[in-house]
Each structure stands twice: as structure tokens, then as C-alpha cells.
Amino acid sequence: MIFPRVVFEDESIRLLGIIPAESTGIEFDEREGEYRKWIENGYHGTMAYLARHEQKKFRPPSILPGAESIVLCGLDYYIPGQRTHSADPVGIISRYAHGRDYHKELGYRLRRISRNLANVFPGDRFVPFTDATPLAERFFAQRAGLGFTGRHGLLITPGYGSWVFLGGVLSTRRFEPAPEVLSSLRCPVQCRRCISSCPTGALLGEGRIDARKCISYLTIEHDGVIPVALRARMGAWIFGCDECQDACPLNAGARVTQEPGFLRPIAGMEIPLAEVLRIPDTSAFVRRFAGSPLIRAGRNRLVRNACIAAANLHATALLPELKNLLRDSDEVVVETARWAIGELAPLV
């Protein structure tokens, strides 16, 4: 059965690949083994759900019994421009979190595609997925011909580089494989720019990462005190990190996204640290960042991150805000604020 491309032509999907939903063979066994070893080494940090996903990561039928096909989709998000280097101390935001949450932007498109497919094939089931499900999107996207996995562990695609969100639809209907036509794009043999650019040494090479050292993990996923040894290496990043992507030569000339949701600055690329440090509670945090990926971190983690950035930027002007946080209700915020004050006090 040929996939009816008309069902997604109005959804602004940039990349499409279709593969069988098989989960057998040497390649699958090897990838499952690599993933299992990655978990055993503790590289997933405190993200316990990744360990729970082990038995489903490379097995689509475990998500949708009777799955026959996987429709892989990509949506580009590159936002151009350099940081403004404001005179006021600012926290840096990853480009992907500039605007609207991609789970919402890509998710609603995939849900509409699934509904369209269900209308065309009422006897079959269609389940949309993004990275909120156990499936290894990058693995299947590479098999579908959307790109290849770079040494930083991200999928690199022709025209869009690694600035792409991935998702797809699982289907009980068998569609003919329809991979994207790839160029000869590959990482330059001797290139290690992404690895050497990582401030914390989180990249282990050949697409492997120690999440426990990754700034994106530390600022977004890690719920607790950030190890002191890593704090100075985090620079001004308060949500995510783009260092490895900015360093990648294959990202040069990436197309600018045309998605209005990604271009609308909810968080933007920089936020004054004073603004973040003054967020009093979760309600105020949600009002400020509703619809943004920053909601994922929550108020306490974002304020914790801002404390670290203030110390790294030698922002002594923020000492009053940091001292106010010594009375905060969150113990991690209090500890991090106290540490930042200790770092800044000798500079006054």
C-alpha cells in the first residue's frame, strides 16, 4: 500500500520516511545491547524512565500491537542570530526553547495526521509519538533515511542539520517503504568539534553521551543539587545547551524555520537573570512561560540554574536577589543561592 501523502501535506512536515515496524535482526540486537550497557553504566543519570523503556525502545509492536509500519516525520526549528550580550547579566536558553513547545507544535500535527489516516483506513489503528514515548526516534529516523546520527548523538539531516524535531505515527497498516533520498552527508572523518566543544566533557564519541555531565540534562532533567565540580562549566546556560550543535560544521547554512510557533519568542534566547531570580512561585512561573518548553524544568530548577549562572558571570549586582533566595521554600534553591553568594562575595 502506497502511503497517502495528501494526509500531511498541510501539516508543514519537512521530512518524511516510511519503514516496516519490524524489530528483529542483528542491527536491532546490537542497538538493544548498546542501550542496555548505556543504562548499566548509569549514563542516564536520574532519568529512571529511560531504564523502564529498555524493553520497548526498539520494539514498535510493544507500543502498538500489530504495528506494521512506522511513518517518521521531522520538523525544523533553527532560529538564527547571535546572543545579544546584554549589559545586564542574562541566562542563555537553547534555541529549541525560544518559542512554543515542540511537543505541542509537532504533537498536534501528528495527531491530525493520525486522524486523517484513520478516516482513510477506518479498519486500522494509528498512534502518533514524539520523544514522550519509549521509541528511539533517532534510530528509526536513520533507518527511514531522514539523516544520520552525528558524533554528538543527534540526527543530522540535509538542509536542516541537527536542528530538527522528530516524531511519527505507528500504523497497523503496511505501507510501502518510502525513505528520503539522502545526500552523501556524513561527519568529516577527523572532525571532533562537537566533542571538544562540550564544556563538561559529556560527549563520549560516536553518538554516546554521559547525561550526568550534559548541561541540557543538568538544567532541565536533574532534580536536585548540581555537583559543584560541574557548576563553573555551565557558564550562563539556564535551560538546555547548544554548544555541540553550534560547533558542528554540518549545521552551517541550516535553513531558518518558517514555523510561527517556534519564531514567537516566549522565552527567547536570553532572559535577564534578575527576572528569573525574582520569580516567587510556580504560579508566577507558569504565567510567564506558559506554552514554552521551560515549563519542563519548573520554577525551582530554573531559579537554581540562574543562581549558578549569576556566579559564573560574576554578577555581583545580583547579590540582593540571591540573598532573598536564602529564605526560599525549596532547599535546593537555598543551597545553590548560598553557594553563589559565597562565589560572589569576594568580588565585591
Residue 180, Cα to own-chain centre: how many angstroms? 23
252/191 Cα distance (integer angstroms)? 14
Contact partners, residue 274, CB within 8 Å, separation at least 6? 88, 89, 318, 321
pLDDT tens, position by position, for the chain (348 residues)?
777 777 776 667 888 899 999 876 778 888 899 999 999 999 999 999 999 988 899 999 999 999 999 999 999 999 987 665 567 899 999 999 999 999 999 999 999 999 999 999 999 999 999 887 899 999 999 988 899 999 999 999 999 999 999 999 999 999 988 765 565 678 888 899 999 999 999 999 878 899 999 999 999 999 999 999 999 999 999 999 999 999 999 999 899 999 999 999 999 999 999 999 999 999 999 999 999 999 999 999 999 999 999 999 999 999 999 999 999 999 999 999 999 999 999 998
66: region left, alpha or beta (phi > 0 left; psi from -120 to 50 alpha): left
Strand 90-93 versus strand 237-239 pairing type: parallel
Asked if residues 334 and 225 have their Cβ atoms less than 8 Å apart, the reply is: no
Whether 131 sits among the annotated catalytic residues: the reply is: yes
User: Rounded to two decimals, what is the model's pTM?
Assistant: 0.93
Specify the DSSP class assigned to residue 256: P
What interhelical angle do 298-312 and 331-344 show, nearest 10? Answer: 10
Grid coordinates standing for 125?
489503528
Residue with cell 507544535: 105
Catalytic member of 10, 131, 223, 246: 131
What is the domain partition of the chain in residue ranges?
Answer: 5-78+98-171, 193-347
Specify the DSSP class assigned to residue 225: P
7/154 Cα distance (integer angstroms)? 28
